[in-house]
Amino acid sequence: MKKYISTSIIAAVLLTTSITGCRKDYLSQEVNPNNPSVSTPQLTLAAALVGAANIVSTNYNEYGVWSGYWTTSGNYVPNQGINQYQFTNSTFDSQTGGPWINLYSNLTNFNTLQNISSDPANANFKAIAMIMKAYDFEQLVDSYNDVPYSQAFQPSTILFPQYDKAADIYHDLGKQLDAAIALIKASSSATSPGASDVVFGGNMTGWVKFANSLKLRLAIHVSTVLGASDPLVTGLAATAADGYLDGTIEADCNPGYSKTLASSGASQQNPFWNSYGVDVNGNPAGNEVYFRANAFAVKFLTDNNDPRLGQFYAPITSASPAVTFHGNIFGDTSPALEPNPGNSSIGPGLDQSPTQPVILFSGAESLFLQAEAVLKGYITSSLTDAQLYNAGITASFVAVQAGGSYVAATPGSPQTPGFNYTPPASASVSTTLAATYYSQPLQNVSYAASSTSTATKLEAIITQKWAALNGINNLEAYNEYRRTGFPVLPSSIDPAAISSTLPTRIFYPISELTSNATSLGKEGTINPFTSKIFFAK
């Protein structure tokens, strides 16, 4: 979770209010661009970026389980929605929250920012808004497929927006990213966002690389079903020279996360830490005790001698030798199911501190995307696909601080009960460990051992991307599984599970059934096991 550009200097009010100061429903509360909000571009930008960080870090628990990373704890009754696939339109999206509501609310803020930043002096704010709209809309498409897009944000004239085709949205997002990159490059004298940019601190080169990496992700997604001649794929060459996120720079959001409570008593902690680590009172957070290690990921990491095992998961205290890890089988309801603390919790590589940044787009993921693009000839690079693959593994090792040590300690650290984890003294330790790891002659670990064909190389790239995305971007890990089938993930063994296969998608939210039923009805009947996101195999 390495932070490359420190921007932790935004006032605590942004943490406590998050995006509530400018949150508006996408159907009926959009600000008229001819009568813009009294909020400044600076405040709107910072709050909306914090909102985006909250969403990507805490809204996708089901994908964390279905991706083979987590299981629901044996201390609780089986989760019908996640373990048994018995979910409805309200399971993952309520009338007041969930990815759909949260993303559209946040998109309204970025849309407002784009509109109030029409002054050429505010070109950088407008470009960031365009990039982040693409970032949020991609998550909507990846979860629901067709969604309102071209008719969104027009409540004065369109109360019930029609749904656009998912592929069409993707293609327009690519155009918006190209336009944002061009706007940044043409606006060198525009006002710097400065401290209000809680991702890159006003470094617009970072935003160009972020936009280009997001564009690459969109192109890679569509390439599997739409082919190398798709405009998103052929358009990669035009901006390849602008570079991508990598092991030296990634998109991290940190507005000044702090363990200190706000005057209102609200938490100012990193949202992932606050949800999956320790709450503001120093107790294990709700999701920390509810989501535990999945046996599938624990076995993969163990079988491949992967030192990240102790970063993604914490050791258990009831085993011998002391530093031992355990994961439950997804959906297990047998008497052998381990309750807490016999099942590993989320580890210190993910839960590093209450002040850690939220990763919006990791350097490791970008490097694996580049590796696939070079492998398939979509882009050219000074690095080979093998070098990019190894660099992706290295970036992941450094980000989760692989190479530290566990020592027995007095219980009291909820992420590592009975243990303390000491990170490595420097990133070079993690880098050396990564080289040792990917030099093993193991399929899907060593690129050379996986290089019998393009197909086996691709499997290695996706498998290692899956390993690197553990807990960092659960949605994207599941996207890649649906796109490629790698790795072969286990379905639930819960005897009450209604399918022997993993879901291909979730339902549209209950809020759409009640507020936009006619437009939603045109999407037809959704089957969560056969209806696919457009780029899925």
pLDDT in tens, 479-535: 999 999 999 999 999 999 999 999 999 999 999 999 999 999 999 999 999 999 999
pLDDT band at 418 (very low <50, low <70, confident <90, very high): low
- Residue 322 has a pLDDT of 67
Q: Tell me the C-alpha to C-alpha distance, in Å, between residue 459 and each of 88, 276, 291, 371, 452.
A: 33, 30, 28, 12, 11
pLDDT in tens, 443-491: 999 999 998 999 999 999 999 999 999 999 999 999 999 999 999 999 9
Residues in contact with 182: Cβ distance below 8 Å, sequence separation at least 6, in sequence order: none
Q: Tell me the C-alpha to C-alpha distance, in Å, between residue 320 and each of 369, 408, 412, 455, 516.
A: 40, 13, 20, 41, 56
- Both tokens of 523, joined, read 């999407």
Distance (Å, rounded) from C-alpha 233 to C-alpha 223?
7
Q: Could you give all domains of the chain from N- to C-terminal order, each with its CATH number?
A: 13-78+88-521 (1.25.40.390)
What sign does the dihedral 177-454-374-249 (CA atoms) show?
A: positive
Whether the upstream peptide bond of residue 339 has omega within 30° of 0, thus cis, is: no
pLDDT in tens, 316-372: 876 666 689 999 999 999 988 888 888 999 999 999 999 999 999 999 999 999 999
- Residue 147 has a pLDDT of 98
- Residue 28 has a pLDDT of 34
Mean pLDDT of all residues in 92-96: 89
Distance (Å, rounded) from C-alpha 52 to C-alpha 60?
13
- Give the Cβ contact number of residue 382 at 10 Å: 6
Residue pair 170/231 in contact (Cβ under 8 Å)? The answer is: no
Q: Quick check: helix, strand or coil at residue 152?
A: coil
Instruction: Pick the range with the lowest mean pLDDT from 163-167, 255-259, 406-410, 437-441.
Output: 406-410
Distance (Å, rounded) from C-alpha 70 to C-alpha 62?
9
What's the chain's average pLDDT?
91
pLDDT in tens, 213-243: 999 999 999 999 999 999 999 999 999 999 9
- Both tokens of 170, joined, read 């993707």
Query: To which H or E segment does residue 238 belong?
Result: helix 236-239
DSSP 278: B
- Both tokens of 109, joined, read 């803020």
pLDDT band at 419 (very low <50, low <70, confident <90, very high): confident
Q: Report the relative pairing of strands 405-408 and 419-422 from DSSP bridges.
A: antiparallel
- Tell me the β-bridge partners of 405: 422
Q: Residue with structure tokens 């899956």?
A: 466
Distance (Å, rounded) from C-alpha 293 to C-alpha 271?
20
Q: Tell me the C-alpha to C-alpha distance, in Å, between residue 477 and each of 66, 147, 160, 177, 381.
A: 10, 21, 32, 22, 24
- Give the Cβ contact number of residue 334 at 10 Å: 9
Residue pair 329/493 in contact (Cβ under 8 Å)? The answer is: yes
Mean pLDDT of all residues in 133-150: 98
